[in-house]
Structure 1
């Protein structure tokens, strides 16, 4: 008594891997040179950018591994396959952003009181090259499917690095024009704030999926009412809406149908409505005829023999609500 759909995302996944791999090659090449220049210039902003770019590279590698694992078919005990690995990757990216922000924030505050000599021209030149590199890498990853929280995690790493290089370039210019070396530290603190915001956002979104909360763009109350208002339906309960992975909402529910209506036809009608009006394709419905006892005197479903006690709110057809009142 269910409706489901299978989808082949192979072409999209291959395209995503190509864009990610290209961005990884660009980042690693620049990263090596930036570490050398950062040490010579004694710039915390450059070294912090290099540290961030290291996590950028790691986040892309993690995303590529997650894409490869997520493509594995559902077998054995892994009945959903390995799709949740992508969410683990996104959460790991969020955590690394927060940890890196914590370390850089500490170093920046320490340098506010004991600022080292910073070579402004080297900082400026390297930062400008870094802006160009990150614009290219950001564009590459933006071409991949960013509805995937896994890819969005890698994208946020690269985007924040772009912001970091812009701030570092400004700091280098300030040092050249004024000699104020603390500009390097201020640039680092700006980057820390941006990294914290991105990290918190990734962790919040990935945690919603792990907690099996309904996707933010779907309203379970409205969906429950829409299901209960379909022709022949008297009640909907045990309604659960969650995401297996980002962009893959799923729904399950127990639907009670009036006597005389075709359960199979009602199920097909509800599945069609959920697909076309709410864009939920992965649907599992248990459909039963409501007992006469339930229809006549409004006995709870737990007394009708269908369930051992419904979980969550119950959605009644409007005709049933009017009858009970």
Structure 2
């Protein structure tokens, strides 16, 4: 008996959504223009690193386009078929962006290694000027998305694309300078390989959080055992079991649980439930809770504290 649902949403975005959309749209525009300039420059200068940077810049633009539409979808209200709302569109977008970064990095790694065996002449000055332009655009994009990236893994994925690209531009400038000063064409593919390794390292550090949300894992800042213990410390609670703690979307924890109420406290069951909800909200900032109340049954078999009972097929 006594199921209770709390569907209050939480907004963690500090920027007006429309203003945020304009920032992302502006970042998309400058990145697309830059991609065209870099591809043309890379072809005419013979620089693989510049083309690598252009491809990464194009992926920046794609990442931002995905992030832009994910933001739009995520703001849709919940409906009967999508009762949890559309907030996870941003988490899915982040996973798509990280996956494309992995594919891109592996491709750049391959191209860089092949260029070592078949070196080509590079026009150093053209490389330096176009990479300098790229760096300016990267810094503009970073400025547009930095504050938004703190509150959204979706925008953070696009921002990481951009930061990696800014470092790539710096590396390309170094490669161009090495050609101008010393005639070292090998620096170009070496820089390409370093860019790809850096991107892979960054993706590795960020993609786990995205997968955890999609896999309904407990938020990293919350200890499930600590949450369960806090519930059981509320007066009148004999035990808690079948506890599920997950994230509705980034920074929006949710919990469901079965609460066993001591027989002598059953008349206070509703107030006990309210007390549990207050503990969860005040101590752990869990605002979305579903609590099922049960009278203690001394002869029932023990239920798992977390997860479900597993019934094996005969």
The alignment's TM-score, normalised by the length of structure 2, stands at: 0.90
Equivalence for 1:231: 235
Mark the CA change 1:79 to 1:5 in structure 2 (over 3 Å): closer, same or farther.
Answer: closer
Secondary structure class of the residue paired with 1:144 = helix
The alignment partner of 1:158 has SS state of helix
Q: How many angstroms apart in 2 are the aligned matches of 1:92 and 1:72?
A: 20
Select between 140-149 and 47-56 the one with higher mean Cα deviation: 140-149
- Greater Cα shift, 30-39 or 57-66: 30-39
- Hey, what does 1:319 align to over in structure 2? none
Structure 1 match to 2:306:
312
Distance across 1 between alignment mates of 2:143 and 2:292: 45
Any conservation in 1 of the 2:244–2:307 contact (CA below 8 Å)? no
Cα separation, 1, equivalents of 2:24 and 2:139: 14
> 1:269 Cα shift?
1.5
For residue 7 of structure 1, the aligned residue among 2, 9, 15 is: 9
Corresponding residue of 1:320:
none
Deviation at 1:92, TM superposition (A): 0.6
CA-to-aligned-CA distance 1:249-293 (integer Å, 9 cap, x gap) = 1111111122343122112212111112112111111123324xx
Distance 1:145 1:193 in 2: 23
Residue 103 of structure 1: aligned partner: 107
- State which of 251, 262, 265 in structure 1 corresponds to 2:271: 265
Of residues 232-241 and 195-204 in structure 1, the stretch that sits farther from structure 2 once superposed is 195-204
Per-residue CA distance 1:190-249 (angstroms, 9 max, x = gap): 110111123334432222122111111111011111111112211010110111221221
Which consecutive unaligned segments of at least 5 residues does structure 1 have?
Answer: 303-308, 315-325
Contact between 1:3 and 1:271, CA under 8 Å: does it hold in 2? no
Which of residues 49, 59, 64 in structure 1 aligns to 2:63?
59
In 1, Cα distance between equivalents of 2:206 and 2:43: 31
- What is the match of residue 30 of structure 2? 26
Q: What residue number does 2:150 align with?
A: 146
Deviations 1:24-64 (A, max 9, x none): 12212222211111111111111011101111111111111
**Cα deviation digits, residues 163-212 of structure 1 (max 9, x gap):** 11111111111211111011111111111011112333443222212211
What is the number of equivalent residue pairs in this alignment? 302
1:163-174 aligned within 5 A: 163-174=167-178
DSSP-derived class of the 2:292 partner: strand
Q: Distance in 2 between matches of 1:7 and 1:212?
A: 18
Quick one: structure 1 residues 144 and 108, their matched pair in 2 at CA, closer, same or farther if it must change by over 3 Å? Answer: same
Gaps of 5+ in 2: 309-314
CA distance in 2 between counterparts of 1:313 and 1:60 reads: 37
Q: Aligned pair 1:203/2:197, yes or no?
A: no
Query: Is 1:83 matched with 2:83?
Result: no
Give the 3 Å change call, closer, same or farther, for CA 18–7 of structure 1 in structure 2.
farther
Deviation at 1:310, TM superposition (A): 4.4
Change (3 A) 1:12 1:254: farther
| Paired position in structure 2 for 1:123 | 127
Q: Is the Cα–Cα contact under 8 Å of residues 97 and 198 in structure 1 kept in the other structure?
A: no
> What CA distance in whole angstroms lies between the structure 2 residues aligned with 1:117 and 1:145?
39
Q: String of CA shifts for 1:127-149, please: whole Å, max 9, x gaps.
A: 12211111110111112153322
* 1: CA distance, partners of 2:163 / 2:30: 14
**Which residue pairs with 1:49 in the alignment?**
53
2:29 matched to 1:35? Answer: no
